[in-house]
Amino acid sequence: MSTITAEDFQQTAANALERMAFVFTEPAEETVGETLAQCTTHAKIEITGDQHSAWVVVSASRGFLAEVAASMMGVEQEEIDVDEHAEATVHELANVLGGELVMAMGGAETPLRLSLPATLDDTGVSEHIDAVAAGCGWTTVLKADSGFLLLACCWR
Amino acid sequence: MNYKILIVDDSPLLRATARRAVLQAGVPAALVREARNGQEALDALATDPADVVLLDINMPVMDGFQFVEHKAKLPALAKVKVALVTTEGNKKRLERMTELGVTHYLRKPFEPEDLRTLVAELFGAKG
């Protein structure tokens, strides 16, 4: 688990976003605080196993969520009601990226369980970011034309 | 393609994505149904069996594994083909699903074309 770096997972996430929604991202120069100020919807997913456990928090801005939802549903971005689709979109992002982390943790051979995604409010996200800052994992920020995606990962 | 399809996923986004792929494959919209979990899927199949089920694993109420285990005990659903569309990648769990009759598997994240190919393969395999 300690070999999964923020840079590795950043690339994994970028590849996943490209595959699932044709959303092209690059590492962002913005800080976690700057990004979080623009993110409106957040979800957490947990991974449990006999040897390791982990969680991933996914936060996204409205524009980013609109781009992902529109692409997956095959409609124009302007046709997406972000308020209606934001939570489902961030949950699916958490589900897919959590699944990618499971595989990176050796989930193909090791029985690891992925929880259902759970919505976090702003306070909940801040608490998880604080936990990462205390040393349990890493954060990384991806940027697309439409907005930002913040990922925070922690394991024990 | 007059096949009855049941899309089982708790994500409305994924259901919409799958529905689009199925419609693009030529299935009439009236033959495509959706369920949000395994229990809803079993209920839907009890009233009107489908030809193909596109099944997520990680769902509330009844997950995809439980659905497949229940379905395997129901002779009336023996001809219903099941394809997993899921983040699941554990080899032993997938082998168990194959033993219980799952014939196809597509791991998330996938490209839309991958899903269209899966649907085409399912129709080709439907006999």
ipTM at complex level: 0.92
pLDDT tops 90 at residue B2 = no
CATH number of B5-125: 3.40.50.2300
Q: Inter-chain contact B89–A107, Cβ cutoff 8 Å?
A: yes
Query: By the CB < 8 Å criterion, does B58 face chain A?
Result: yes
Tell which residue, A84, A89, A71, has the closest CA to residue A20. Answer: A71
Instruction: List beta partners, residue A43.
Output: A58, A119
Query: By the CB < 8 Å criterion, does A50 face chain B?
Result: no
DSSP A153: E
* Residue of A72, A87, A119, A149 to mutate for B, most B C-beta atoms under 10 A: A72
Q: What residue spans define the domains of chain A?
A: 6-155
| Superfamily per CATH, domain A6-155 | CheC-like (3.40.1550.10)
Query: By the CB < 8 Å criterion, does B40 face chain A?
Result: no
Closest chain A residue to B111 measured between Cα atoms?
A19
Q: What is the pLDDT along chain A (156 residues), one digit of tens a residue?
A: 547 899 999 999 999 999 999 999 999 999 999 999 999 999 999 999 988 899 999 999 999 999 999 999 999 999 999 999 999 999 999 999 999 999 999 999 999 999 999 999 999 999 999 999 999 999 999 999 999 999 999 988
More confident position, A48 or B116: A48
Q: Which residues contact residue A46 at a Cβ distance below 8 angstroms, ignoring those fewer than 6 apart?
A: A53, A54, A55, A98, A114, A115
Q: Which residues contact residue A105 at a Cβ distance below 8 angstroms, ignoring those fewer than 6 apart?
A: A1, A4, A47, A49, A52, A54, A112
Taken in order A124, A60, A135, B87, is the CA torsion positive or negative?
A: positive
A55, with CB counted inside 10 A (0-12, 13-18, 19+), is buried
Q: What residue spans define the domains of chain B?
A: 5-125
pLDDT in tens, B71-100: 999 999 999 999 999 999 999 999 999 999
Q: Which two tokens stand for residue B42?
A: 């079993």
Q: Measured between CB atoms, which of A19, A99, A111 is closest to B87?
A: A99
